[in-house]
Structure 1
């Protein structure tokens, strides 16, 4: 089946649609290389726990605390993270496929080197999101606030930002293909303005960014 395209002709992202089976409640902690299948984590404080390399399949994490939780190289497949909160969560090198992240409140979350495929971030606020050298394909950010996200050296393909706030974003070294920014409510790029090739922006956004574009190429604008 052919992929949908946006009005601009860009290929639209394939949106994550997670359908969870009946889940079993889980009240334990995390373990390195743990195997979690068909479980529901509800209102658990997982702060500071060690779960690098853990695998979550058909799982739901709802209202869990993730302060300094170590989940490097973890795998999340067909899972939902709803209302999770925490500072310094380590998901470096993690793999997220067919995952919904809903109303998250996170700060300084580490996703550098991660692989995200068919992931939906909806609502919530994420400060200092580190996605350096990550690979994002078919990822949708919808109605969320991203404050000072770092996409340095990342690869973005079929990524959509819908009705988001994108504040002080670092796009240094980013490679983009079919990235849709047209409905971003606040588009503020701190670094990497020259890396927008492969993205689609609106005419209003172009006017807003015009002074920065002019400065980028050394053009002085005077009345």
Structure 2
């Protein structure tokens, strides 16, 4: 049963009443006089606005929040047990460790929301009864529902989604590491580029779903159903291309470093095109200038301080790599994937060839969603056709004209142009 407006169990509230309760809650959190915890249990607040409100630990048990504006709201550790959030706008909201058991999120907009360790398992409602004690409102436990919900770019890491009904939901670019999805109904879902590393998908139904470029490293998939599921480009524990463990990569890297240090007089350049480099674990601080690793898989590598000036990394997979402080001047990353990577303080400027010639970093048509570019040097970088949606650009040095042909939805931070 879904909560409906007009039900006699519910107290209908006005916007003025909601605002007054929110102010008292914020006063309580600020330890000011007149504060009180926000209590919206069994209240009908459908269509009202909670935009940007800070309501940590508020009680929304069984509340009707249909079509509410909760965008940017802070709802961490809130009790949203069996709440009706159908068609609600939760874009950019924070619901870390929130209790959403039995909640209905059908058609809700949860894009870019933070649901870290949220609980969306099944739940049942019960009301006190003078003669019977507790009387079930619903005869059986109901699963949380997120059918048709928009969860693009949401953080669902370590969340509990076992048994959830999320048919045709959009999880594109979501982070779902170590997520519990046991027996989840994910039929016809869009889960392209979703990071499901370490997730438990045992018994989940993904029939007709799209998992293009999804990450399933360490995921449990016992008894899952994938009839007519698009698994193109899925990254698993199995090596993609040439397994680096089958190559004498230690000697190859030494030879390459010597070749760079002696300006080509000694050693030899290494070539790792279409190799799976995950087995290295770390290439932190190595001098790999002019390296050729086209189409290679670097996923999750520690690459802090690595020197890759003028390297050929076209079509490479650098998702979730730590490139903090890396020297990437003049790098070629055409059509590469860097989603979730950390490029804080990285140098993506132009490589000086001589007094009059400069080689700009080439990141055209590169996918760089949710990347940390804070304090990065991106002067003269080529970004035509790139996607840097949801990335952190705080303090990054970049000519704003470079963003003219770039997809940059929900950018964060102030660019130091």
- Range of TM-score over shorter length: 0.7 to 0.9
Partner in structure 1 of residue 386 of structure 2:
none
1:192 matched to 2:196:
no
Equivalences for 1:105-144 in 2 at 5 Å? 105-118=109-122, 119-144=144-169
- Change in CA separation of 1:104 and 1:126 when aligned onto 2, cut-off 3 Å: same
- Change in CA separation of 1:62 and 1:211 when aligned onto 2, cut-off 3 Å: closer
Residue-by-residue CA offset, 1:85-139 (whole Å, 9 max, x unaligned):
1431010010112111121123211110111112110224221111111122221
Q: C-alpha separation between the residues in 1 aligned to 2:100 and 2:196?
A: 21
Equivalences for 1:21-60 in 2 at 5 Å? 21-22=7-8, 23-27=10-14, 28-29=18-19, 30=22, 31=25, 33-60=37-64
Question: Which deviates more from structure 2 when the two are superposed, residues 101-110 or residues 196-205?
Answer: 196-205
Q: Tell which structure's C-alpha radius of gyration is larger.
A: 2
Q: Provide the aligned C-alpha RMSD in A.
A: 2.4
Q: C-alpha separation between the residues in 2 aligned to 1:91 and 1:68?
A: 10
TM-score of the aligned structures, taking structure 1 as reference length? 0.79
TM-score of the aligned structures, taking structure 2 as reference length? 0.44
Q: C-alpha separation between the residues in 1 aligned to 2:232 and 2:88?
A: 38
Partner in structure 1 of residue 182 of structure 2:
157
Question: Which deviates more from structure 2 when the two are superposed, residues 150-159 or residues 68-77?
Answer: 150-159
Which of the pair is proportionally richer in strand?
1
Question: What's the offset of the Cα at 1:212?
Answer: 4.3
Corresponding residue SS for 1:168: coil
Corresponding residue SS for 2:40: strand
- Change in CA separation of 1:210 and 1:87 when aligned onto 2, cut-off 3 Å: closer
Question: What's the offset of the Cα at 1:162?
Answer: 2.1
The structure showing larger relative contact order (alpha-carbon pairs under 8 Å, at least 6 residues apart) is 1
Partner in structure 1 of residue 137 of structure 2:
none
Question: What's the offset of the Cα at 1:196?
Answer: 4.6
Residue-by-residue CA offset, 1:48-73 (whole Å, 9 max, x unaligned):
11111111122111221112101000
Counterpart of 1:182 (choices 198, 207, 226) is: 207
1:216 matched to 2:238:
yes
Partner in structure 2 of residue 71 of structure 1:
75
Question: What's the offset of the Cα at 1:214?
Answer: 8.7
Aligned length: 201
Contact 2:214-2:234 at 8 Å conserved across structures? no
Contact 1:154-1:173 at 8 Å conserved across structures? yes
Q: C-alpha separation between the residues in 2 aligned to 1:164 and 1:35?
A: 34
Question: Which deviates more from structure 2 when the two are superposed, residues 111-120 or residues 186-195?
Answer: 186-195
- Change in CA separation of 1:199 and 1:34 when aligned onto 2, cut-off 3 Å: farther
